[in-house]
Amino acid sequence: MIGRTIPHDKVLEKMGQGGQDSRLDRRVALKNFPQHLSERAKLRLRRILFSMTLIWLSLVAGMGTAIAQDEGTPRRRAVRLDLGFGQSPPGSHVSIPIILTLPRGVKIGSATNEITFPTQLLSFQEARKGLAAEVVEAEVTTEVKQNDQDPESSILKVTIKGKAGMAIPRGVLVDLVFNISEQAQLGETIVLKNSASAVSSDDPPQPIDPVTGNDGEIVIDETAIVFACFFYMH
């Protein structure tokens, strides 16, 4: 692979692996899956890396500019309330994080996710506060209601509200715990449809726009995945 361009990153040498982005003119890290891995294993690794990337981005997103150019018109970068990825076998529980990413200068006092999930395969158990919610002593409330447009699914409404006058920081807000039905089939992927909104920490609060967020995924597999993060400080 040395010397190849994939598709705009030129592989320089094997370190590990590495390359140079021809558009940004800087060195980048490339992940190349071993050829012996099955397509299922590759898909699993991609999803793990995606969830880890979401968490990492939530910690550094505020370092960039809060203004983007769109056809010559300045616009604010979106607040993101993303759902993560989980993997567990039938009959077990799985945790799905809600991850907040904030542009610089944006402060939110309350965030809401409405998550649609299939009731035949999943049942909601609880919401556990993440570090970002803990540090501002946020109140987390949940409500499950029937989806009027689809009787085979329910809508979980999760609201995270910071203590009066305190803005919610970026990071993992909550971990949503679901039980997986015994009827779930190995290899099946359950999609959690996500709709997000937020209001500012101003007095009075103002709606924030735009707010967006990725859907979540639960992969039914015999092997459960547990994420752990380690931070070295000196």
CA distances from 173 to 15, 166, 224 (A): 36, 14, 22
Mean pLDDT of the region 198-220: 92
Cα–Cα distance, 86 to 132 (Å, whole number): 20
- Same-domain status, 113 and 180: yes
Asked, for residue 230, whether it belongs to a domain, the answer is no
Pick from 111, 97, 115, 91: nearest CA to 192: 115
pLDDT tens for 161-206 read: 998 878 999 999 999 999 999 999 999 999 999 999 999 998 888 9
Cis peptide before 210 (omega within 30 of 0): yes
- Same-domain status, 142 and 123: yes
- Same-domain status, 19 and 127: no
Domain of 117: which CATH number?
2.60.40.680
Cα–Cα distance, 133 to 162 (Å, whole number): 7
Higher pLDDT, 209 or 74: 209
- Same-domain status, 25 and 46: no
| Host domain of residue 190 | 39-62+78-220
Cα–Cα distance, 148 to 28 (Å, whole number): 47
With tokens 């409500």, the residue in question is: 143
pLDDT tens for 66-99 read: 334 444 444 457 899 999 989 999 999 999 999 9
- Same-domain status, 21 and 52: no
pLDDT tens for 16-67 read: 655 555 555 556 666 565 666 666 666 666 666 665 665 555 554 444 433 3
**b/e burial code for range 130-164 (CB count within 10 A of at least 16 → b):** bebbeebebebebeeeeeeeeeebbbbebbbbbee
Per the CB < 8 A criterion, the answer to whether 86 and 99 are in contact is no
Pick from 134, 132, 215: nearest CA to 171: 132
- Same-domain status, 124 and 17: no
- Of 9-13, 73-77, 131-135, give the lowest mean pLDDT range: 73-77
Per the CB < 8 A criterion, the answer to whether 79 and 101 are in contact is yes
Count of domains observed in the chain: 2
- Same-domain status, 44 and 25: no
- Same-domain status, 20 and 93: no
Tell me the Ramachandran region of residue 72: left when phi exceeds 0, alpha when psi lies from -120 to 50, beta otherwise: left
Per the CB < 8 A criterion, the answer to whether 102 and 170 are in contact is yes
Asked, for residue 23, whether it belongs to a domain, the answer is yes
- Same-domain status, 55 and 113: yes
Per the CB < 8 A criterion, the answer to whether 29 and 17 are in contact is yes
- Same-domain status, 19 and 53: no
Sorting pLDDT into bands at 50, 70 and 90, what band is 6?
A: low
What type of residue is 81?
L
- Same-domain status, 168 and 203: yes
Listed in sequence order, the residues at least 6 apart from 230 whose beta carbon sits closer than 8 Å to its beta carbon are: none
